[in-house]
Chain A
Amino acid sequence: MSGLPESFAAIEGVEPARLELDGVSKSYGETTVLDRVSLTVARGEFVALVGPSGCGKSTLLKMVAGLEFPDAGHVRIAGTDVTDVRAADRDVAMVLQSYALYPHLTARQNLALPLVMRRLTGRQRLPFVGRFLPGTRAQLAAIGADVEKAGRALKIDHLLDRKPAAMSGGQRQRVALGRAMVRDPRLFLMDEPLSNLDASLRVHTRAEIVDLHKALGATTVYVTHDQEEALGMADRVAILHRGRLLQVASPEIVYRDPSRIEVASFIGSPSIGLIEAVIDDRGRAIVFDRPIAEGFAAQAGATVRVGIRPEHLRIGGHDDAILPARLDRTEFLGADALAHLRLPDGAPIVAKATPEIYRGFVPGPVGLAWNAADLLVFDAAGDRLRPRFDAATVTAERAHV
């Protein structure tokens, strides 16, 4: 949209770089922030790094940028080990979480800065004197042209002579984006670039960033705590939880086939319903004395957690019900509606459907039903338990591995 790809076609992209993180760990004193994280991002790929606040996303991204250094493990960019190379020498572009624009410089100067730093020598950058050294003028003119081009592409050309204080949050965000992309990065890092924007601007800018990535082709690592953003934008999603990388897969796989209970809970909104069950001697999961799923190899008596996505939960009469429940209330959300329910032990669970389906529902006793194939079951340690002999899941598993 918005003519972005066309404007960027003129900028000859640098070869996008492949990024490899190999067993990267980091602790601050006693607290382990990152625990043996390994991740490979292919050339030109868009990977979203997602996880709850404080799980170590920014720390990991800074490690890729060269602003933090790992205690153990290696970082390789385009095949070169850069573990101990500082940021200024890594040639990586990054949009910082708070944008970090230089408040005393105009947008134009902010955009020009990375180019000035890289294309001019130390002597050429001297105040007053530098201007008269051979080549400075030509370089500055080229930089000015590049800044104008980036400004037009991001539609901030009319803001170029303003200082950050005179801009809205959205405009600042674009300037920060511009400062990162103006130098044709081979690796593009973004730390929650949309988290300071209001909801409608966020959806709009999301699409623009995806277009930008398509046009530039740069390898991109995009950090967000918003799972919806990650699913919607990325080629692959990497889920970080308490410093450990739990799963890296396409948005569809992490949603449909999570490998850990934390992934299942974090991805999807409203989040997945979890019911505690016990495996009986025939491999069935038992809740409130009723079998709700079967075919598990787990030991009899083992506790498992059975996950049901809200859209897989059907509300019906008592006859075909797998579990009895109570409907507390329904919630109209426009295209969707939610039903807030309680299980016999009082635990809340949410169902989602189109509003027509819940029309006329009144609070009171109901029955819950689902397709066994839709259940996601996890053992006590949080690892995924897959029913034996289930052809569909086995295929999915193979595709994933």
Chain B
Amino acid sequence: MSDHALALPALPAVAPRRRVDHDDRAALSLVGPIAVLMLLLLLAPTAAMIALSLTDAELGASTITFVGLDAYRDVLGDRTFLISAKNTALYVAIVTPASVGLGLGFALLIEAGTELRGFFRSAYFLPVVSLITAMATVWQYLMHPAIGPINLLLHVVGLPSINWLGSSDNVLGSLALIGIWQQTGFDMVLFLAGLGAIDRTLYDAAEIDGARSAVDRFRLVTWPMLGPTLLFVVTITMINAVKVFETVMTLTQGGPAKASEVLLWTIYQEGFVFLHLGTASAMAVIFVAVLLVLIVFQTRVMDRRVHYG
């Protein structure tokens, strides 16, 4: 804001000065409140977090000393954090393509069929509106090694039962399954909106041009026209996946043997269980930085490919 005010005199004085001042003040009074709110609610906590990450702050300790980038060095060398980062990356790599793909598939099916459309729309959206902590208990029951219906079902068809959440080999996959269940409906609804916004006459043009099969129409019209939606859905899905926490918190607590240790869980433990505010802040800064890089990459690089206007 002040930058703008300072830069003004340097501009060639085309318009009468008083007018410019007036417009400026109006602009300030309009932008002001929201700018102050953003400063207070978003930027200030971020700044505090960055500041804390440069100290050895511990909750309950009486002194705080500036330790520079020590916390970052510790974090990047910390085995738990590295496992956590790897697990999170794996979780994102499973959940994103699966829920985006399934969401698109369901959206296309719903769009193609006429009956039951409303039913499916709400059925698949259910996970989005249901409270994940409550649903997690349901999943715990479903995936229970002994009495869980999923294993019972496996037993009925003659397959060996699986230790879904209790084995370090399976736990991340099981969590990813729940993550996919959670995200697919949301992605589907976004895709439905995207499909609805496609200009119908393009399908007429495709038909006239000789696109006979559904595959041809999809390749020629649906897929390219869905580009902006796809970009948005992938971004949102990745961010949601990176932020996986509730299921870990309620079902596995990061275990067994750190096999479901994920970033937010690690940060939460470091900050609120071990009370190492400095280290937790450094982790959070790294976490946010990675998220930002992802978002910037997607909006800058991909945007150019999917918007044709």
Residues of A that sit less than 8 Å from B by CB: 62, 65-67, 86-89, 92-94, 96-98, 100-104, 113-114, 117-118, 122, 163-165, 179
Which B residues from 224 to 249 make CB contacts under 8 A with A?
224-225, 227
Q: Are A179 and B209 in contact (CB under 8 A)?
A: yes
Given contacts A117-B216, A163-B308, A165-B309, contact A102 B207 (CB under 8 A): no
Residues of B that sit less than 8 Å from A by CB: 199, 201-202, 204-205, 207-213, 216, 220-221, 224-225, 227, 308-309
Cα A134 to Cα B183 with chains together (Å)? 44
Given contacts A96-B201, A113-B220, contact A88 B207 (CB under 8 A): yes
Given contacts A102-B202, A117-B216, contact A94 B208 (CB under 8 A): yes
CB distance from A165 to the nearest CB of B (A): 5
CB distance from B307 to the nearest CB of A (A): 9
A114: contacting residue among B209, B216, B227, B308, CB under 8 A: B209
CB distance from B222 to the nearest CB of A (A): 12
Question: Which B residues lie within 8 Å of A164 (CB)?
Answer: 308
Q: Besides A88-B208, A88-B210, A122-B213, 13 other CB < 8 A contacts?
A: A65-B208, A66-B207, A89-B212, A92-B208, A96-B205, A97-B201, A100-B201, A100-B205, A102-B221, A103-B224, A104-B224, A113-B209, A179-B205
Q: Closest B-chain residue to A68, C-beta based? A: B204
Question: Which A residues lie within 8 Å of B205 (CB)?
Answer: 96, 100-102, 179
Question: Which B residues lie within 8 Å of A122 (CB)?
Answer: 213
Q: Are B210 and A118 in contact (CB under 8 A)?
A: yes
Cα A103 to Cα B210 with chains together (Å)? 18
Given contacts A67-B204, A165-B309, contact A102 B224 (CB under 8 A): yes
Cα A96 to Cα B208 with chains together (Å)? 10
Given contacts A113-B220, A117-B216, contact A103 B309 (CB under 8 A): yes
Q: Are B199 and A100 in contact (CB under 8 A)?
A: yes
Question: Which B residues lie within 8 Å of A88 (CB)?
Answer: 207-212
Interface of B is mostly: helix
Question: Which A residues lie within 8 Å of B220 (CB)?
Answer: 102, 113
Q: Closest B-chain residue to A98, C-beta based? A: B201
Q: Closest B-chain residue to A105, C-beta based? A: B224
Q: Are B210 and A117 in contact (CB under 8 A)?
A: yes
By Cβ-Cβ distance, the 6 closest A-B pairs, closest first, are: A117-B210, A100-B205, A103-B308, A100-B201, A114-B209, A104-B224
Question: Which B residues lie within 8 Å of A93 (CB)?
Answer: 208
B204: contacting residue among A100, A101, A102, A118, CB under 8 A: A100
Question: Which B residues lie within 8 Å of A94 (CB)?
Answer: 208
Cα A87 to Cα B202 with chains together (Å)? 14
Q: What are 27 contact pairs spanning A and B, CB under 8 A?
A: A87-B204, A87-B207, A88-B211, A88-B212, A89-B212, A92-B208, A96-B205, A96-B208, A100-B201, A102-B202, A102-B205, A102-B220, A103-B224, A103-B225, A103-B308, A103-B309, A104-B224, A104-B225, A104-B308, A113-B209, A113-B220, A114-B208, A114-B209, A114-B210, A117-B211, A163-B308, A165-B309
Cα A201 to Cα B213 with chains together (Å)? 38
Cα A94 to Cα B207 with chains together (Å)? 10
Question: Which B residues lie within 8 Å of A179 (CB)?
Answer: 205, 209
